[in-house]
Amino acid sequence: MMTAAILVAMFWMSSPSRAEIAPSTAPLMPSAGFTSGLKSIHPLLGSRPIAQSVLLKDLTTGQIIYEFKADRRLSPASLTKVMSALVILEYGHLQDYVSVSSKAASTRKTRLRLRAGQVFALEDLVKAMLITSANDACLAAVEHVAESEEWFVLLMNTKARALGLLDTHFSNACGFDAPDHYSTAADLATLSEFALRHPVFKAFVRSELEIITAVNVNRSYLLRNTNRLLGRMPGVEGVKTGFTSKAGRCLIAKVSQNGKQLLLVLLHTTRRWNTASNLIEYGFQQLDTATAAMQ
């Protein structure tokens, strides 16, 4: 576990200046190779905005296929847990045993209803926070790694700055709405690409079902992935869902088909699964068209 003194030192060394954290005003632009196809997506998805922010990216080339206000700062809900998991994997030891605190057991919203005093392997708590987005598992894990959620959040913001996520700031580890808790579709895409390089993270977010068991009592919990695209759309490999009243329904999804890879970030959408499916289908159509044009 990290000591408070080390955490404070890391935070101040990495804190950006006021100029560095000013909102970005330059919107992302789609790559020239895909610009001609953008108009067709609106009839496909309807005349109303499909989400408050969208980014659809070709991971093979790095080109943006489609974007809508991708630099807009919004509440990321439980997409926050992508960063939380990264920090845990960096500073924690997955085979550690973690005792669930009273604070973690009583946390709000989505949870497994863990009980104070139950003990789990840290690895299982990370599975629960990524697969079912369990806030009690999330808080228990972060308290173990950094002694308190406050110190853990310092590590999250330090990591955000190290990754160049200048339009991202966290005030809690699990994704609750707060005025100073925000990110953008562009930043979340960058974060997800980095996270997916970690083999443990990559394996957890693509798992449809898992069972975790407390080591000190006879109690098991079924983890069912909140990402409904898994097992229903070919090539889906995660990544994370989120929802709060302020953030709306959010999604990060990675999909691989026929040697092509897409990353989709949706923030504050209503028809999450239909919108995601249509955008992913659109993205692969655009890639197929671009490939055919080159032959």
Q: Which of 69, 81, 127, 240 is labelled catalytic?
A: 81
Q: What angle do CA 174, 269, 288 make, to 5 degrees?
A: 110
Q: Which of 78, 183, 192, 277 is labelled catalytic?
A: 78
Phi, psi (5° rounding) for residue 267?
Answer: -120, 130
What are the CA-CA distances from residue 293 to residues 34, 57, 108, 290 (Å)? 12, 19, 52, 5
Confirm whether 133 is a catalytic residue: yes
Widest CA span in the chain = 62
Distance of CA 182 to the CA centre of its chain: 12
Q: Give start and end residues of each alpha helix (H) in the chain.
A: 4-14, 32-35, 41-45, 80-91, 102-105, 122-131, 135-146, 149-162, 185-195, 199-205, 272-294
Does residue 59 sit in helix, strand or coil? coil
Q: Which of 133, 183, 192, 277 is labelled catalytic?
A: 133
What tokens were used for 168?
């991202």
| Residues catalogued as catalytic | 78, 81, 133
